[in-house]
Structure 1
Amino acid sequence: MVPINFGAPQAAAELAEQARRIAGSHPTAAAALSAAVAARAYALTGRHEQAEGAIADAERFATRLSPRQRADTWFGYGEQKEHVHLSHALTTLGSTRRARESQTRALELSSPTSSMTRGLLRLDAATCWHRDGDTEQACRAATAALADLPPGWRTGLTRTRAVELYRMIPAQDHHEPAARELRDALSA
């Protein structure tokens, strides 16, 4: 996941492919997680068919995990973790209906104190608004998500996701008030 979070999705895809080979085809937490990370990496590199296949694998593995493997631990693949990964992959693919379902479920399962995770999910939701044609709502949602983060967490991954959304907005719309507010939030 480190290469995904630091802007190297191709390297992430290569590592995820290795992890998938090592994890094998039996339903384990490692197999489910490696498939989910591969889905994100494939989506980010434009390999949509592979991303959809990895999503299907991750979902299939997740439904077959034992309660111990499904536990919300470092070594488990809990439902919250599943939906966080699926949210990002599906958002990137433009599958907004499915992404919103995962966002909703992940937010239900996320602790109110999980600021980073909740912020990333809200930024995924903002991207879905843009992909669905409501750029104004997307900008408002992204600006609110950033504002709700502790100041030290408005950098790195959360900022990168918000910048990616801003860059998706056509240049002629950058003068709109909501887009200017998002730009200002990113400049702060």
Structure 2
Amino acid sequence: MKSFIKIGIVLGTAAIMTSCFNKSKPNYQFMPNMYESVGYETYQESDAFKNGVEAQLPAENTINRGWMPYDYENTPEGKELAKAELKNPLEADSTSTEANLGDGKELYDIYCAVCHGGKGDGQGVLVKREKFLGVPSYADREITEGSIYHVIYYGLNSMGSYAAQLNEKERWQVTMYVEQLKKDLTK
């Protein structure tokens, strides 16, 4: 008799568990927040803070990770100051110089050669097609590594800034390559 009761309990439990099963509908979710979580955006409004997004703002006087402030202003005086003071911090030994020049050439070909030309003579594809006129040759300019870096950072005349496209090291690599082009043009 006891075995019939145990068998009855097992069959009853199995019947109860399978009675809610329906192939056309999904099963019950016992913890729906685990299956369908709420998506939060980085700077969205939140009820967790009484002033909105105050806890998501960066602390005062901090800078973004990987970004270094540039101390020269976007003015003619700032450009002249950068031209006189700013020096390339990349190592000057022969092995790293060749690697930096190679990387600088690659970046120059991507971002600069379309206007300034592959040789730095101001005869890029856009100049030849007369989309931009008056792009000077590096041989005709009084440029230093500081002025090159400054112009890459802020832009000059119709040239826009490339600070968002190139990080600090890449800007210095392009600067090294532009100096090499200037030397080759003045020979």
- Structure with greater contact order relative to length (CA < 8 Å, sep ≥ 6): 2
Which protein has the bigger helix share? 1
Q: Rg larger in 1 or in 2? A: 2
